[in-house]
């Protein structure tokens, strides 16, 4: 499309054409909102959650810990052995 516009006398770059037409494109890239996954907790943070008394964890920390341990099967056994009681 930018080549056709250059033939008609357009002096701008192809990137300008792309940026101008981007909002008018029809398709999944323009209609779907972008969802960003939550950042992965660092190993040190997860270790701290495992070693702390479960009663002192906040609810969001408990949920993150449960999700993290559910993803790694070997870590659940390790967490049970190291859990502060």
Mean pLDDT of all residues in 7-27: 83
- C-alpha 38/C-alpha 25 separation (Å) is 29
Please state whether 27 falls in left (phi above 0), alpha (psi between -120 and 50) or beta.
Answer: left
Task: Give mean pLDDT, residues 40-57.
Answer: 88
Cβ contacts of 2 within 8 Å, gap of 6 or more: 10, 13, 14, 17, 18
Average pLDDT, the chain: 79
Indicate if the pLDDT at residue 29 is higher than 80: no
CA distances from 60 to 21, 34, 65 (A): 42, 23, 9
User: In percent, how much of the chain has pLDDT > 90?
Assistant: 8
Is the pLDDT at 84 greater than 60? The verdict is: no
CB 35, CB 66: distance < 8 Å: no
The pLDDT of residue 66: 86
- Give pLDDT, residue 19: 86
């Amino acid at each position: 499309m930018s080549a056709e516009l250059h033939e008609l006398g357009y002096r701008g770059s192809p990137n300008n054409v792309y940026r101008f037409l981007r909002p008018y494109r029809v398709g999944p890239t323009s209609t779907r909102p972008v969802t960003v996954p939550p950042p992965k907790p660092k190993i040190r943070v997860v270790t701290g959650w495992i070693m702390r008394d479960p009663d002192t964890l906040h609810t969001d920390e408990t949920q993150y810990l449960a999700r993290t341990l559910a993803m790694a099967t070997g870590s659940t056994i390790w967490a049970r052995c190291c859990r502060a009681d």
